[in-house]
Structure 1
Amino acid sequence: MSAFIWEQLDKQFNIALEQRGEAVASISAAAFLDRDAMRSFLGAYKPLIEGLDDTVAAAYFSSWFGSIASAMHFSVSVHDVTPDFSLSNLTAHVIKETGFTRIGFQLTHGNVDQAPKDTMGRAAWRDLAFTQFYSHTARPLMECLSEASGLNVGLLWGQLPTALTNFREHCQTTIENEAVLRQLAEDEHFVQTGLPPQVFGRSKNPLHVSVRKIAHPLDPNKQLHMKNVCCLQYLRQDRYYCYTCPRLTKKERAEFKF
């Protein structure tokens, strides 16, 4: 994998081969599947975002994990490679920045798997890559987050479509190559409609959702994407629901104060 692609993963998705910044807390490998270790990690993260309980820390962590999912789609569709995003190769760091706290991701090694050149071979490679990512990386992580925090696992899965929607919109405004954009759309369609619910451990594929739009509050000529599910921001000290939260009524959104 070229240095250029790693630069993109670092810049766009907060993923690096070396730790960026001093970590307040970290979790990696088998600890991602350890309920007590995950609870300790969330306990360190929660006060830094002024969370009132562990559920908001879990929801925010899942939202940050959306960058890993987006990076997976980016790598597969734009560069025809898959980095090793297995939990055994992944570390998450809680890092304090000026004015906010982020979750940074680090890979132990930079090994990648290259897609076959032929169309049928690539399709089979893509199908397996996404199946393994969502069943062996995302699913056990979401389930452990749910067990550690008490938050319904559906709300954790629900953070990912919002991240992937934002990723898609970014690609549509920054990528000019029509063939690459078509590949992105085809691969996303497979993930949404081709992956069975069993891959996610759910009764329905949690990524197969409709994106709703609402009026932009400051520009009548623009629209905003409504979040897929609530991110639980209201469970942070002195915070309220986001303007794009699906829990808000039209009346509440009209009266929203910025």
Structure 2
Amino acid sequence: MIPALAAFFPRKLAGIAESLVLEDDPRPHVPGAALLDRDRLRQVLGAFSASYAEPDAQAVATQWSKWHFSQFLPPVLIANIAGDWLLPTAIDRIGIVLSPDSRTLAIRLPGEGARLPVSGVQRFSPLVEDHLAPLIAAISRASGLPAKTLWSNAGNVAETIASECAAFLGEAHPGVADARALLAARLWPDGRRNELFEPVRYREGRRRRRICCLRYRMASLALCKSCPLDKVPPRGRHGGEEQPGTAE
């Protein structure tokens, strides 16, 4: 674990921080900025698609993004929420350690970070503007996957981490309250659309995503456990239908 983060992680969540490393990590890595190049990103997604018997380009992209967000967002958000700590996660400053099949294994940071300079929902602005927004735009360009699906994938992870933090810090904790406020706000304070608005909803005791991730388009994958759909659409495996599960 990066030394500066040790105080922020409860014992049961400490392993989550292992996906963040510093520049002395010896493993080969891809510069984050390279993933903003459409051709280079398509190479990464193409290598990842070899894991599936019948890869669908958009389903491959959604699965790759979900894996990346699940490695990247939990430690970054826990540090932010629990420790008021801002990590240097701008996509053009980091490196990404990939597995042999091109999954994100670790994020190589240029430094240990510093105390957050702001509070409120703005505490999450650097993460959203400097990492999520450019990477999501790049994945959407490279794959044709709607950006709203990718934002939903990120929001799904963010909501899970906010709930985990609430479980050990309490809902009244300032960082938890700010995270809840971000996910409940349609707009940023400056009036911009908040792409992370309400990624999941709870209905009749069941947690459901607001927007389907489209992973079902590959025959080898079932609906995810928080899917807004009850069954795979008849034409879902080969595209052509309107994206389901997008109710406002």
Give 1:185's aligned amino acid. Answer: A
Distance of aligned partners of 1:171 and 1:133 in 2 relative to their CA distance in 1, 3 Å threshold: closer
The change in CA–CA distance for 1:224 and 1:91 in structure 2 (over 3 A counts) is farther
Change (3 A) 1:51 1:94: farther
2:90 to 86, 91, 104: 86
Distance in 2 (alpha carbons) for counterparts of 1:228 and 1:96 = 32
1:49-64 equivalences in 2 (<5 Å): 49-50=52-53, 52-64=55-67
Match of 1:170 in 2: 164
1:17–1:110 contact (8 Å) kept in structure 2: no
Which residue identity lines up with residue 164 of structure 1 in the other structure?
Answer: A
Evaluate the alpha carbon distance shift between residue 210 and residue 244 of structure 1 in structure 2; reply closer, same or farther with a 3 A threshold.
Answer: closer
Supply the AA of the counterpart residue of 1:233: R
**1:47 match:** 50
Amino acid at match of 2:127: F
TM-score (norm 1): 0.71
Residue 123 (str. 1) matches residue 119 (str. 2): yes
- Structure 1 residues 226-256: Cα deviation after superposition (integer angstroms, max 9, x where no partner): 123222222334333234311326xxxxxxx
Q: Distance in 2 between matches of 1:142 and 1:84?
A: 18
Count of paired positions: 226
Give the secondary structure class of the aligned counterpart of 2:229.
coil
Measure the CA separation in 2 of the matches of 1:198 and 1:138. Answer: 19
Which runs of no fewer than 5 residues in structure 1 stay unpaired? 117-121, 216-222, 250-258
- How big is the shift at 1:189? 0.9
Which segment is superposed worse, 85-94 or 9-18? 9-18
Query: CA contact under 8 A between 1:51 and 1:235: conserved in structure 2?
Result: no
- Does the CA contact (< 8 Å) of 2:155 and 2:199 recur in 1? no
Which stretch of structure 1 is more off in the superposition, 226-235 or 161-170? 226-235
1:254 maps to which residue?
none
Structure 1 residues 50 and 232, CA, compared in 2 at 3 Å: closer, same or farther? farther
Classify 1:168/1:50 alpha carbon distance in 2 versus 1 (closer, same or farther; 3 Å): farther
Query: 1:166: how far off?
Result: 1.5
Partner of residue 112, structure 1: 113
Q: For residue 119 of structure 2, what is the amino acid of its counterpart?
A: A
Counterpart CA distance in 1 for 2:159 and 2:27 is 30
Change (3 A) 1:2 1:29: same
* 8 Å Cα contact 2:170-2:176 kept in structure 1: no
Q: Secondary structure at the match of 1:158?
A: helix
Determine which structure has the larger helix proportion and give its number. Answer: 1
1:37 corresponds to: 40
Note the C-alpha offset of 1:185.
Answer: 1.6
Q: Say whether residues 1:73 and 2:72 are aligned partners.
A: no
Shift of 1:34: 0.2
Kindly, what percent of the aligned residue pairs are identical? 21
CA distance in 1, matches of 2:52, 2:190: 33
User: How many angstroms apart in 2 are the aligned matches of 1:34 and 1:85?
Assistant: 18
Matched, 1:144 2:146: no
Normalised by the length of structure 2, the TM-score is: 0.73
C-alpha displacement at 1:51, in angstroms?
5.5
Q: Which amino acid aligns with 1:207?
A: L
Task: Measure, in 1, the Cα distance between the counterparts of 2:42 and 2:209.
Answer: 26
1:210 CA displacement? 6.2
Residues 6-34 of structure 1 deviation map (CA, whole Å, 9 limit, x = unaligned) = 977872255221699988xx532321210
* Among candidates 189, 195, 200, match of residue 211 of structure 1: 200
* Aligned equivalent of 2:128: 134
Asked whether the equivalents of residues 81 and 175 of structure 2 are also in contact (C-alpha less than 8 Å), the reply is yes
CA distance in 2 between partners of 1:50 and 1:40 (Å): 18
1:66 partner letter:
F
Give the unaligned 5+ runs of structure 2. 232-248
